């Protein structure tokens, strides 16, 4: 993502050691960036083109809409309450977009560079700000809703709103932030771009409302090109090719992390190769994967109930979520059959307690739930614990999807119900198994049946 021409201008070589390299070499224009690739709905897109298009269209349409609203307002003033027209608004997907990708790959940079190129002012809010409803509204609502006084006098800079680290919106601290952002997006006067690191369940309503671009990290070659350029600009030549590769591999495409590592490394004078390696590895940053480490700690390190409590208390992860993770990953960590059944016994009681809490709102029962699902499970099988690295799985399976039919299933059901009016559940338990047996006997049967019901290939597959 780094610069070519700007670097040369910056090469006045003041040797300004205090400025972090990431700020010093932050690209000022799109032209200087190595551009990350991006996907929208699994389709590859050109991110810069899309962003430019989004901003252009936004300003064009908002102008039209403002003019129309002006007319409506004038009309409303002179008519009865009943006949008043509603003010037109832009749909949310045209006022806001979301960029999603791992940290340090240039999401924020691309927005700033683009704003610079298009001569726009960026108004940023990030995780360091509290983002309760009130805070967000007071900070952004004025800018989103109205134009400043100066705007009437002269054509000032257009503005762009950047809501960075939106997945940092967490539980109780930032309550009401997502609905507020959606509200803002409804009647904003300026385009909104949001950045996020990963998929979050509590942002679902956001994902439904606005387009979501997945930004991919840069390739290793591109990263190597950028950092050799910077190293030569900084006149550093004591970092070996091997070390560079180690750093690049360790950071997995996180360019910001790489630059920070390099800067730290460049300040260390001669060491033996082993020590250098150790230093590189020790420059580790805890990026994500909090829940993964919680699960591993719980199963592999915890020895007492107090330790288990400490872990669950410390973590910011929703317990609602955590115990499903434990359910999914239990068999990975507990091998002994007896231990596994004991662990599941505790987990199942925890689930039962949780169900009662939710049904009767008996929140005083919550401590038992906590201690059972985390502590109880972690203590079991202390003697024969698995060691070493184990993969942790995402709990994809959901029991609430029992009755969710896919498209082929529901169209098959509809076609059968035209001829045979019984309920879906009866069809699945009684009739469709029979049809499967019937069709398995010969191909002619299948053909007869599909002709008679007028089935397509996908529906036919269900009966095979």
Partner 1 sequence: MTEENPIWRLKYLPKALDEIYGRELLISRLKEFIKSKNFPHLLFVGSSGIGKTTIANLFSKEFLGDYFDANLKLVYADLPLTQEERSQAKSESYISTNKIGSMAGKSITTPVFIQVKIKPFVQLKVLGDVPFKILIVKNFEALGSNQQGFRRLMEIYGNNCRMILLTTKISGIIDPIISRCQLFLIPPLKYNKFEELILKISKKESIDVNIDIIKIIYRITEGRISKAIDILQLSSINSNIIDEKIIFESVKKFKNEDIEKLILNSFKGDFKKSRIMFREILSNYKYNANELFQKMLEVIIDLPISRFEKCKLINLIGDADFRALDGIDSDIQISAFISKLNAFGEYM
Q: Is 327 in the site for partner 1 (CB under 8 A)?
A: yes
- Distance between CA atoms of residues 244 and 231, nearest Å: 11
331 in contact with partner 1 (CB under 8 A):
yes
When the beta carbons of 275 and 426 are compared against partner 1, the nearer one is 426
CA distance 260 to 42: 32
For 190, the token pair is: 């300026």
Nearer to partner 1, 267 or 399 (CB): 399
Nearer to partner 1, 143 or 445 (CB): 445
Among the candidate windows 214-222, 236-244, 274-282, 418-426, which touches partner 1 by CB under 8 A?
418-426
* Touching partner 1, residues 33-62 (CB under 8 A): none
Measured between alpha carbons, how far apart are the two ends of the chain, in Å? 52
Nearest alpha-carbon partner for 108 in 9, 208, 244, 254? 254
Write the binding mask 270 to 309 for partner 1: x where contact by CB under 8 A, - elsewhere.
----------------------------------------
Binder to partner 1 among 4, 318, 345, 371 (CB under 8 A)? Answer: 345
Question: Going by C-beta distance under 8 Å and a sequence separation of 6 or more, which residues neighbour residue 384?
Answer: 335, 336, 339
User: Closest approach of Cβ 133 to partner 1, in Å?
Assistant: 17
The verdict on 428 binding partner 1 (CB under 8 A) reads: yes
Tell whether residue 349 is a contact of partner 1 (CB under 8 A): yes
Angle at alpha carbon of residue 325, lines to 322 and 329, rounded to 5°: 145
Closer residue to partner 1 (CB): 283 or 349 = 349
In the complex, minimum distance from the CB of residue 212 to partner 1, in angstroms, rounded to a whole number: 19
Tell me the three state secondary structure of residue 211: coil
- Please, which residue, 199 or 431, has the CB nearer to partner 1? 431
**Nearer to partner 1 by C-beta: 292 or 428?**
428
The DSSP code sequence of 63-117 is HHHHHHHHHHHHHHHTS-STTPPPPP---HHHHEEEEE--TTSSHHHHHHHHHHH
Q: Mask of contacts with partner 1, 359-378, x by CB under 8 A?
A: x-------------------
Q: Using the rule CB under 8 A, is 324 a contact of partner 1? A: yes
Question: What angle (nearest 5°) sits at the alpha carbon of residue 364, between those of residues 359 and 365?
Answer: 65
Q: Does 356 bind partner 1 (CB under 8 A)?
A: yes
182 binds partner 1 (CB under 8 A): no
φ, ψ of residue 412 in degrees (nearest 5): -60, -45
Pairwise CA distance, residues 141 & 341, whole Å: 54
Kindly state the smallest distance separating residue 383's Cβ from partner 1, in Å: 16
Candidate list 13, 15, 77, 337; residue touching partner 1; CB under 8 A: 337
- Looking up tokens 């090719």 gives 241
Cβ neighbourhood burial of 153 (10 Å; 0-12, 13-18, 19+): exposed
Helix (H), strand (E) at residue 228 = helix 220-233
Residue 452 in contact with partner 1, rule: CB under 8 A: yes
Contacts of 430 (CB under 8 A, 6+ apart): none
CA gap 328, 331 in Å, rounded: 8
Whole-angstrom Cα distance, residue 29 to residue 110? 8
Please report how close the Cβ of residue 218 comes to partner 1 at its closest, in angstroms: 37
Please report how close the Cβ of residue 289 comes to partner 1 at its closest, in angstroms.
23
Per-residue binding letters, 375-414, with partner 1 (x by CB under 8 A): ----------------------xxxxxxxx----------
Q: How many chain residues interact with partner 1 (CB under 8 A)?
A: 55
Residue 171 binds to partner 1 (criterion: CB under 8 A): no
Contact set with partner 1 (CB under 8 A): 323-324, 327, 330-331, 337-338, 340-341, 343-345, 347-349, 351-352, 354-356, 358-359, 397-404, 419-426, 428-431, 433-435, 437-438, 441-442, 445, 448-449, 451-452, 454
């Amino acid at each position: 993502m780094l610069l070519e021409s700007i670097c040369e201008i910056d090469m006045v070589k003041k040797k300004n050691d205090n400025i972090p390299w990431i700020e010093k070499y932050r690209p000022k224009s799109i032209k200087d960036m190595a551009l990350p690739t991006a996907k929208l709905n699994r389709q590859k897109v050109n991110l810069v083109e899309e962003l430019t298009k989004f901003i252009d269209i936004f300003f064009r349409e908002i102008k039209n809409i403002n003019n129309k609203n002006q007319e409506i307002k004038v009309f409303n003033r002179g008519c009865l309450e009943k006949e008043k027209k509603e003010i037109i608004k832009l749909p949310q997907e045209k006022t806001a977009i979301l960029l999603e990708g791992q940290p340090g790959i240039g999401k924020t940079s691309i927005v700033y560079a683009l704003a610079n190129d298009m001569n726009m002012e960026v108004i940023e809010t990030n995780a360091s700000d509290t983002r309760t409803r009130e805070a967000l509204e007071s900070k952004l609502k004025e800018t989103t809703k109205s134009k400043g006084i100066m705007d009437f006098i002269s054509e000032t800079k257009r503005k762009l709103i950047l809501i960075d680290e939106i997945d940092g919106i967490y539980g109780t601290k930032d309550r009401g932030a997502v609905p507020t952002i959606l509200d803002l997006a409804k009647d904003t006067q300026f385009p909104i771009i949001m950045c996020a690191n990963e998929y979050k369940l509590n942002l679902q309503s956001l994902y439904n409302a606005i387009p979501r671009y997945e930004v991919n990290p840069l390739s290793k070659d591109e990263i190597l090109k950028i950092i050799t350029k910077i190293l030569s600009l900084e006149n550093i030549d004591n970092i070996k090719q091997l070390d560079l590769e180690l750093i690049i591999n360790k950071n997995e495409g996180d360019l910001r992390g790489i630059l920070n590592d390099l800067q730290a490394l460049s300040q260390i004078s001669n060491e033996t190769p082993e020590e250098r390696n150790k230093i590189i590895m020790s420059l580790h940053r805890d990026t994500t994967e909090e829940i993964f480490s919680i699960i591993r700690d719980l199963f592999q390190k915890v020895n007492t109930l107090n330790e288990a409590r400490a872990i669950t208390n410390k973590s910011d992860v929703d317990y609602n979520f955590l115990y499903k993770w434990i359910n999914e990953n239990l068999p990975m960590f507990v091998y002994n059959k007896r231990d596994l059944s004991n662990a599941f016994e505790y987990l199942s009681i925890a689930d039962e307690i949780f169900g009662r809490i939710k049904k009767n709102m008996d929140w005083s029962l919550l401590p038992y739930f906590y201690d059972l699902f985390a502590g109880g499970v972690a203590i079991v099988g202390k003697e024969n614990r698995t060691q070493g690295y184990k993969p942790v799985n995402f709990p994809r399976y959901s029991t609430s999807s029992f009755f969710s039919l896919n498209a082929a299933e529901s169209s098959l059901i509809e076609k059968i119900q035209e001829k045979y009016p019984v309920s879906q559940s009866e069809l699945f338990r009684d009739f469709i198994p029979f049809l499967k047996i019937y069709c398995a006997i010969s191909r002619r049967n299948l053909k007869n049946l599909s002709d008679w019901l007028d089935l397509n290939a996908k529906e036919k597959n269900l009966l095979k």
